């Protein structure tokens, strides 16, 4: 029934038309930045359990130490934009996802503090905080995937949907692991770096399977998304997205195969390839998802224009975004340049 309702896109030359679109873009970019940036440090957190010894754990944590605070801030911006620019969608989405959101918040809380506590608490408590860090990272990643599943299916409340969401949760954790392993290959050396290559190989398969499963399942759960992808000429025009994704997965696999020999010879050439290509996969998946969902904030229920705040309130924030966002990107780049290269022990 709902699928017969035509989508009305308002006049984009007036503020009420283009402002919601701009904020949808800002929100999408913030979420994308979050998924990639916090993605690699969540991945490192999940992989922490597989480290050989304390020294490796410390190095892994050191590689994300200067960044994780700022990485998480992108989530606050993303949810913040949802809250302030699309208040109706915020209530609807977070209301429907009440429990997974709560789980994610608990997990992020546990993980964020475990990170700091582990080096400051009594030595005998360190393994406990390490486990909390691992568990927090795992649950945060999984609940985010679960929420994504809910978003794609329009929050249907049946067992198939919940199963689908739970599956996506696992895929996202695996993708975060691939990203985190790629990060470690870039930022570390020696035995840990070689281990990271092995971790990346392990998560590659699950990530590839996950991306394939979601790509197939998404159009099946929503006929509107199905029509968007599998109608002519969309199908031909969109073909580059899955094609490029497959190509990137291929490049990652090849790189992971060659890296051990090369690294053993002390050659760091190509150590950034798995991470860069995984980021590429995330970008393409995100683009595909955005295309599927647009212009809905809640599939088949609420478009971004229906959910938007008043144009005058959006305009006030718009000025701020235009001035401040470039500054934020500027000092984020500066921070990454300061800590460029192989990570060193954290000491302060």
Q: Note the residues at the interface with other proteins (CB under 8 A).
A: 65-67, 69-70, 72-73, 75-77, 79-85, 87-88, 90-91, 93-95, 98-99, 101-102, 105-106, 108-110, 112-113, 115-117, 120-122, 309-310, 312-313, 316-317, 320-321, 324-325, 328, 331-332, 335, 338-339, 346-348
- In the bound state with other proteins, the residue whose beta carbon lies nearer, of 74 and 199, is 74
Q: Specify whether the CB–CB gap between 145 and 174 falls below 8 A.
A: no
* Closest distance to other proteins from the beta carbon of 219 (Å): 29
* Closest distance to other proteins from the beta carbon of 51 (Å): 20
214-220-221 Cα angle (round to 5): 85
- In the bound state with other proteins, the residue whose beta carbon lies nearer, of 6 and 337, is 337
Q: Specify whether the CB–CB gap between 42 and 49 falls below 8 A.
A: no
Largest CA distance in the chain: 64
- In the bound state with other proteins, the residue whose beta carbon lies nearer, of 159 and 348, is 348
* Closest distance to other proteins from the beta carbon of 88 (Å): 7
- In the bound state with other proteins, the residue whose beta carbon lies nearer, of 63 and 174, is 63
* Closest distance to other proteins from the beta carbon of 125 (Å): 8
* Closest distance to other proteins from the beta carbon of 289 (Å): 21
* Closest distance to other proteins from the beta carbon of 111 (Å): 8
* Closest distance to other proteins from the beta carbon of 63 (Å): 11
- In the bound state with other proteins, the residue whose beta carbon lies nearer, of 101 and 214, is 101
CA 27 vs. chain centroid, Å, equals 13
- In the bound state with other proteins, the residue whose beta carbon lies nearer, of 85 and 273, is 85
- In the bound state with other proteins, the residue whose beta carbon lies nearer, of 26 and 196, is 26
Dihedral sign, Cα of residue 265, residue 281, residue 101, residue 328: positive
- In the bound state with other proteins, the residue whose beta carbon lies nearer, of 92 and 194, is 92
* Closest distance to other proteins from the beta carbon of 202 (Å): 29
């Amino acid at each position: 029934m709902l699928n017969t309702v035509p989508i009305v896109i308002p006049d984009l030359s007036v503020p009420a038309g283009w402002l919601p679109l701009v904020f949808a873009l800002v929100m999408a970019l913030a979420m994308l930045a979050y998924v990639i940036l916090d993605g690699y440090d969540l991945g490192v957190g999940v992989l922490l359990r597989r480290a050989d010894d304390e020294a490796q754990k410390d190095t892994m944590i050191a590689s994300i130490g200067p960044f994780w605070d700022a990485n998480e801030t992108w989530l606050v911006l993303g949810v913040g934009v949802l809250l302030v620019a699309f208040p109706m969608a915020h209530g609807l989405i977070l209301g429907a996802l009440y429990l997974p959101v709560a789980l994610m918040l608990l997990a992020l809380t546990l993980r964020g503090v475990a990170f700091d506590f582990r080096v400051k608490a009594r030595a005998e408590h360190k393994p406990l905080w390490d486990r909390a860090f691992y568990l927090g990272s795992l649950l945060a990643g999984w609940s985010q995937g679960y929420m994504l599943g809910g978003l794609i299916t329009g929050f249907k409340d049946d067992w198939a949907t919940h199963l689908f969401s739970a599956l996506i949760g696992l895929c996202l954790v695996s993708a975060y692991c691939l990203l985190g392993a790629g990060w470690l290959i870039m930022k570390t050396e020696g035995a840990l770096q070689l281990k990271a290559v092995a971790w990346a190989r392990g998560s590659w398969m699950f990530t590839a399977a996950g991306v394939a499963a979601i790509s197939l399942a998404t159009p099946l759960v929503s006929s509107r998304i199905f029509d968007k992808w599998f109608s002519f000429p969309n199908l031909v025009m969109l073909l580059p997205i899955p094609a490029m994704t497959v190509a990137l997965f291929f490049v990652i696999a090849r790189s992971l195969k060659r890296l051990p020999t090369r690294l053993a010879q002390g050659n760091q050439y190509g150590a950034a390839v798995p991470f860069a290509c995984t980021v590429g996969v995330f970008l393409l998946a995100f683009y595909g998802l955005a295309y599927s969902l647009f212009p809905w904030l809640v599939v088949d229920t609420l478009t971004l224009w229906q959910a938007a705040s008043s144009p005058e309130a959006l305009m006030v924030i718009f000025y701020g975004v235009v001035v401040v966002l470039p500054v934020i990107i500027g000092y984020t780049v500066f921070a990454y340049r300061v800590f460029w290269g192989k990570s060193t022990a954290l000491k302060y």
